[in-house]
Amino acid sequence: MAVIFPKWTNRVPMVLAAGMPVVTVALIFLIWYTWSPRYTDVGYQPEQPVPFSHALHAGNLGMDCRYCHNTVEQGPHAAIPPTSTCMNCHAQVQTESPRLETVRQSAETGEPIPWVRVHLLPDYAYFDHSVHLAAGVGCSSCHGRVDRMVEVRQAEPLSMRWCLDCHRDPEPNLRPHDQITNMDWDVANNDYNPSEDPHRTRDVNPPQHCSGCHR
């Protein structure tokens, strides 16, 4: 009887049996990683209508985050500053700069500057900035070293797992209340114990149940 397939094909089923688990695991890992916020969201850096440099304003000039994002301690959202906030300085500083033409037009017409949002949580996730700042979570814990960013980018995944890691062990991300906007504050190099801080009025006990963030 004639041989239809060469002899080496007898090893194909064994190779497939040994290789399929490896391929399956690799495929699962590839999908898990490339579809995760750490891969899809971290590094997101949209082009803004005005070349506003946080490295200049928050870094070199040392402006406090709360000057522009003035609702961050009172409500859930860190407000995008209105054009009038920009003009508090730029009515006298860089008044002829072509880079600020959009700001001047906004001030004249009353039309808001169409800033592009960088950090965007899903609608089904509830996050309150004021609660986190009151607990002593610094801006850089979630947003990274914004004072070094010429163009703001997303530094952390802001995923459910990432949030829960902090909720389960919040102390490494806590600091004194007067240091929440200090980008140079390094938890690892500061001997700070939240439970011994006399200025704290209550213990930090972040929720870990579903309704804490999904309401």
Instruction: Give the percent of the chain with pLDDT over 90.
Output: 70
- Long-range CB pairs of 109-114, under 8 A, 24+ apart, other chains included: 112/82, 112/83, 113/49, 113/50, 113/83, 113/86, 114/49
Contacts of 204 (CB under 8 A, 6+ apart): 135, 136, 170, 171, 174, 194
Alpha helices in the chain (DSSP H): 12-34, 37-40, 54, 65-68, 83-90, 101-109, 129-135, 139-143, 160-168
pLDDT band per the 50, 70, 90 thresholds, residue 178: very high
Mean pLDDT confidence for 15-40: 79
Mean pLDDT confidence for 85-101: 96
Which range, of 24-28, 166-170, 174-178, averages the lowest pLDDT? 24-28
Largest pairwise CA distance in the chain: 97
How many C-beta atoms lie closer than 10 Å to residue 138's C-beta?
Answer: 22
pLDDT band per the 50, 70, 90 thresholds, residue 3: low
Q: Tell me: the pLDDT tens digits for 121-165?
A: 999 999 999 999 999 999 999 999 999 999 999 999 999 999 999
Domains of the chain, by residue range, sit at 11-39, 71-80+119-212
What letter does residue 10 receive in the DSSP assignment?
G
Of the two residues 39 and 104, the one the predictor is more confident about is 104
Among 4-13, 107-116, 171-180, the range of highest mean pLDDT: 107-116
The pair of structure tokens assigned to 124 is 């089904």
Report the distance separating Cα 145 and Cα 182, nearest Å. Answer: 10
Mean pLDDT confidence for 191-205: 86
Of the two residues 139 and 26, the one the predictor is more confident about is 139
- Long-range CB pairs of 63-67, under 8 A, 24+ apart, other chains included: 64/181, 65/139, 65/146, 65/181, 66/181
Mean pLDDT confidence for 190-198: 86
Residue-averaged pLDDT of the chain: 91
Q: Judge whether residue 22 has pLDDT over 90.
A: no
Which range, of 30-34, 67-71, 137-141, 170-174, averages the lowest pLDDT? 30-34
**Rg value, the chain, Cα:** 25
Question: How far from chain centre, in Å, is Cα 179?
Answer: 19
